[in-house]
Structure 1
Amino acid sequence: MPHNNATPYGFRVVGGRHGLRRLVTWQAALAGHAACEARAENDRESYLSAFTFGDELRDHLADTGSVKGYSGPCGALWLWFDLDDADDPSRTLDAARRLCAGLIDRYGIDGDDLLIFYSGAKGYHVGLPTALCGSPAPSAGFHRVARRFAEATAERLRLQIDSGVYDRVRLFRSPNSRHQRTGRYKRRLTFDELLGLRHDAIERMAAAPEPFDLPTAPALDFQALADWNQAADAVKADDDARAERRAAATGVTLNRRTLDFIRNGASEGDRHRLLYSAAANLAEFGASYELAAALLTESALDSGLPPSEVARQIKCGVEGVKQ
């Protein structure tokens, strides 16, 4: 699997989910867990970020000591599916089989192009390489497109998945790591093992970690690309509808740049200026700071501005008009 140069970083937690977030090179960390390297500490509970990040996350973590509040771009080499039936793990196994078979059939891939795992408890995890989708570029909304893609897949196959794993800074259990409650390990399964083994046999396999090789990235698949683009279009349609609702709340006609900012945010070089001017434009029509913040904050955060800077620019824009 090639390295994603635009978003090489991730974060890792050793111990419980509330532990320290440590910046890592995501692909190297994944490979270390796969190979059962000593530095991976696979005998402990550990997690990797579900998504990958660029310098924005690195700087945010250095400045704040936390990933909380990060709203910048992310990407992914793998799109993860999390299946879990707390009442009957055998049903979860059946769902994982149906998911993998559906992905193989739709995208014409080999079963072992997927990363298939037993979680060590009652769940199964499946990773689909985003290379199939043309290695989509990182963006502030990448995680939302990933969620829409996964949900559309689940709906098509009539499966239930955990949509919470598509939060931008979500943790995902590391391969070959030990589940604290059960003592079992998150084990890689071949597609044949997934099809041929009962859940109790898979549980026995998970008594110890096992090294495995990461799959080579498959070629672009046009159906996967079309599915990704359809998910991206759906997210954009949601954003446009939200922007229209926000604009309607003002009861006035705003200038085009303000509407564009509400809908799409702004690129790094323009985001401060355009946020300020959008706030000022709203204030020209009598909008309070609170209303301007309600209309602009989400788009500003999605553009990668930190919360404190968003609040400052909106305040300056509104107060500049009132002076």
Structure 2
Amino acid sequence: MYLEMGGKYNNEYFKRKIFVNNIQIKKIRNEFNNTDVYSTLFLYEDDKSQDESNLIGPLYIDLDADIENEDDYKLLKKDLNLILIHLENDYGINKKYIKFYFSGKKGFHLIIPYQIFNIKPCKELNTYYKLIANDLNNYTLNKIVDTRIYDNKRLIRLPNSINSKSGLYKVPISYNDIINLSFEEIKQYATKPHSVQVEKPIAILKAINKYNEIITYYNNKNKKHKKNKQFNIPKNVDIHSVTFPSCINNLIANGCEKGNRNNSTIILCSVMLQKGISYDDCLEIITEWNETKIEPSLPNNELIATLNSAYTQILNGRRYGCTSIKDLGLCNKSCKIFK
């Protein structure tokens, strides 16, 4: 099986689509001087593309908090404990099986081994994980779980690599240190690499049952949409007469964050195609948008592949809309469309 890696060369431009096996990770880490270097958590089947492959990998929970002072850090710790209580009570997962990381800047990450859920490789694993993340987020006070990151090609900063924005390492850290250290002490802790041991994962029946409930829920939900699977794209539309909701206008005008480029692009392509904008006009619009509003911009071949994916998905009945926009944090609360 293989994974994808990427990183920033000379702190200037970002390169991804570096496909390696586990043995080659160290080599790529060194090529990027162990700074701003990333990999997918998912492994892919050797004989298939990422989109065609079954996925296998751990559950990744990103606590995306804006920590400016110790009071902010206390709020994060409170939400972390609420998540851990829910994992223990509803999933049967004790924190001794969870790997905790400080991102090297402001975030904290949790890694839960897939073996706990007795997961087998499957194409929809990222979607199932997103449902778990949404469930955990519902139990937090400040909604700090980032639920926008569950595409099947998400790159995650490598453990014990340097975050160039802070000069600190992304480091494994024990739960006790998270709770007992101040945020300033956490940053001091992250000035060098660390190693933290956790319990070897075992299959947990309660977690397996909860995971199977999620799969059943997802499959039942999808069945309701099969009767109306086909979608006829409008034809002969005057591009100048097309109007968009405020969230899409905002995306067109202001671009998106670096970590959301692919998801934002496919949403924009899907919405334009649904409105009847031709493939060629859509390509022209997103090319200009990518060059003027996205920093760093996506490679041209990746842009075209994203448009092709959006077009194919529409023909197969999958359209991006309000839910996807809300997940990216682009939803306008005053909008009358989404309630």
Shift of 1:188: 0.6
Paired with 1:298 and 1:56, the residues of 2 have a C-alpha distance of 26
Preserved CA contact (<8 Å) 1:92 1:122: no
Q: Secondary structure at the match of 1:21?
A: strand
8 Å contact 2:91–2:210 — kept in the other structure?
no
Structure (1 or 2) with the greater helix fraction: 1
Q: Which runs of 5+ in 1 are unaligned?
A: 1-7, 61-69, 250-290, 300-323
Tell me what 2:135 maps to: 152
Distance, in Å, in 2 between the alignment partners of 1:133 and 1:50 is 16
Aligned residues: 234
Is 2:41 the counterpart of 1:50? yes
Indicate how the Cα distance of structure 1 residues 238 and 71 shifts in structure 2: closer, same or farther if over 3 A, else same: farther
Contact residue 61 and residue 110 of structure 2 kept, 8 A: yes
C-alpha deviations, 1:56-80, integer Å up to 9, x for none? 45xx4xxxxxxxxx42234233100
Separation (CA, whole Å) in 2 of partners of 1:122 and 1:167: 22
Contact 1:117 1:189 (C-alpha < 8 Å) held by counterparts:
yes
Question: Amino acid of the residue matched to residue 183 of structure 2?
Answer: H
Residue number in structure 2 paired with 1:78: 58
Alignment partner for residue 10 of structure 1, among 3, 12, 15?
3
The one-letter code sitting in structure 2 at the alignment partner of 1:174 is L
Taking structure 2 as the reference length, the TM-score comes to: 0.60
Q: 1:234 deviation in Å? A: 2.2
What pairs with 1:137-176 in structure 2 (closer than 5 Å)?
137-158=120-141, 159-176=143-160
Give runs of aligned pairs for residues 113-128 of structure 1, distance below 5 A.
Answer: 113-128=97-112
- Indicate if the aligned counterparts of 1:74 and 1:143 stay in contact, CA closer than 8 A: no
Aligned to 1:67: none
Aligned with residue 316 of structure 2, among 290, 293, 296: 296
Contact 1:92 / 1:123 at 8 angstroms: preserved in 2?
Answer: no
2:224 matched residue in structure 1: 241
- 3-state SS of paired residue (2:39): strand
Distance, in Å, in 1 between the alignment partners of 2:80 and 2:55 is 24
Q: How much is the aligned-residue C-alpha RMSD, in angstroms?
A: 3.3
User: 1:132 is matched by which residue type in structure 2?
Assistant: I
The yes-or-no answer on 1:19 pairing with 2:19 is no
Aligned partners of 1:73, 1:297: CA distance in 2, in Å? 21
> If you compute each CA radius of gyration, which structure gives the higher value, 1 or 2?
1
Give yes or no for contact 1:149–1:227 (8 Å, CA) kept in 2.
no
Report the secondary structure of 1:144's partner residue.
helix
Which residue identity does 1:22 align to in structure 2?
I
Secondary structure (helix, strand or coil) at the match of 2:3 reads: strand
Distance 1:78 1:125, change over 3 A: same
Conservation of the 8 A alpha-carbon contact between 1:96 and 1:126: no
CA distance in 2, matches of 1:208, 1:132: 30
Separation (CA, whole Å) in 2 of partners of 1:164 and 1:293: 20
Q: Deviations over 1:183-225 (max 9, x none)?
A: 1111111121122112111111011112345x45422112111
Greater relative contact order structure (CA < 8 Å, 6+ sep) = 1
Instruction: Choose which of 217, 220, 224 in structure 1 pairs with 2:203.
Output: 220
- CA separation in 2, counterparts of 1:87 and 1:189? 17
Q: CA 1:220/1:157 → structure 2, altered by over 3 Å: closer, same or farther?
A: farther
Q: Go from structure 1 to structure 2 and tell me whether the alpha carbon gap of 1:232 and 1:102 turns closer, same or farther (over 3 Å shift).
A: same
